[in-house]
């Protein structure tokens, strides 16, 4: 059992809930930070911190301080918070580009900045960012989303270099399609068994947050399932 402490942003969402479970089962002390209120069925033992806009530095700092205070420090930050919008350039509203940038890049950068003092104090901290396979190659209608997730990769790369000698590792995963209720509703004809299972992706996030991956920083790991 690890006995370490983690903050999972977006911890009330589909992947976030699976991630919270994976860390709990591995013996971590877990705080879930999210925009909305904690959903029914949040597991016992999770410190649920709702109503937090992670694009706002003061709000993010208050949440990280609360988690680190309650759990005796902070060893890992898993940036799951984010979102998706499909829109073509021709028909879509240009505000979608800044909205997705805020939702995906600003939240990850702000949460990371807010968590940094506690992560450095732990002596061996880790940040794991959830980007997307689309960051490498965008399909039609995915420009704004892919650009924002490419921003998450550049953040990962730059922060890994910045923190290389300061005891904090920074890595990212690039999922294709996760098997979530929202995706099943949007793509009812798809073969869900080929998609990435949330528990499998959560296990990868756990690995990248754990000492088992201590030699890895600045990595961008494609998690494709069989898509
Ligand atoms: N689903 C996929 O197929 C897929 C594929 C590749 C990558 N990803 C990425 O994986 C992550 C999780 O996806 P998911 O399907 O689990 O999404 P989800 O269920 O919508 O969970 C994302 C969570 O992030 C929260 N959030 C958004 N903006 C926030 C902010 N400013 N401050 C605090 N929390 C905020 C959302 O809150 P609200 O619901 O209240 O807005 C939601 O609870 C996302 O980063 C997504 O882009 C997903």
Which pLDDT score, from 0 to 100, does residue 2 have?
74
At the topology level, CATH places domain 5-223 in Rossmann fold (3.40.50)
Residue 1, pLDDT > 70, answer no
- pLDDT tens across 168-220, in order? 999 999 999 999 999 999 999 999 999 999 999 999 999 999 999 999 999 99
Q: Which residues line ligand 1 (CB under 6 A)?
A: 10, 12-16, 34-36, 52-55, 80-84, 103, 107, 130, 132, 175, 177-178, 180, 183
Torsions phi, psi for 171 (to 5 deg): -135, 165
- pLDDT tens across 140-178, in order? 999 999 999 999 999 999 999 999 999 999 999 999 999
- pLDDT tens across 114-136, in order? 999 999 999 999 999 999 999 99
Helix/strand/coil for 174: strand
- Tell me the CA–centroid distance for residue 83 and ligand 1, in Å: 4
Q: Residue 218: CB partners within 8 Å, gap ≥ 6?
A: 156, 157, 160, 161, 164, 170, 171
Rounded Cα–Cα distance for residues 89 and 87 (Å): 6
């Amino acid at each position: 059992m690890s006995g370490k402490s983690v903050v999972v942003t977006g911890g009330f969402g589909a992947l976030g809930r699976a991630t919270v479970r994976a860390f709990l089962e591995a013996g971590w002390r877990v705080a879930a930070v999210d925009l909305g209120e904690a959903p029914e069925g949040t597991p016992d033992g999770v410190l649920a911190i709702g109503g937090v806009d992670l694009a706002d530095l003061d709000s993010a700092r208050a949440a990280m301080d609360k988690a680190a205070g309650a759990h005796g420090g902070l060893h890992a930050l898993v940036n799951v918070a984010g979102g998706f919008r499909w829109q073509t350039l021709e028909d879509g509203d240009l505000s979608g580009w800044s909205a997705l940038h805020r939702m995906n890049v600003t939240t990850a950068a702000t949460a990371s900045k807010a968590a940094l003092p506690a992560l450095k104090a732990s002596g061996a901290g880790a940040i794991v960012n959830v980007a997307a396979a689309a960051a490498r190659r965008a399909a039609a209608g995915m420009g704004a989303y892919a650009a924002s997730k490419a921003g998450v990769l550049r953040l990962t790369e730059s922060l890994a270099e910045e923190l290389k000698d300061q005891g904090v590792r920074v890595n990212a995963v690039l999922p294709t399609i996760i098997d979530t209720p929202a995706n099943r509703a949007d793509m009812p004809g798809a073969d869900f068994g080929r998609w990435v299972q949330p528990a499998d992706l959560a296990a990868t996030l756990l690995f990248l947050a754990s000492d088992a991956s201590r030699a890895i920083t600045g990595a961008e790991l494609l998690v494709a399932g069989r898509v």
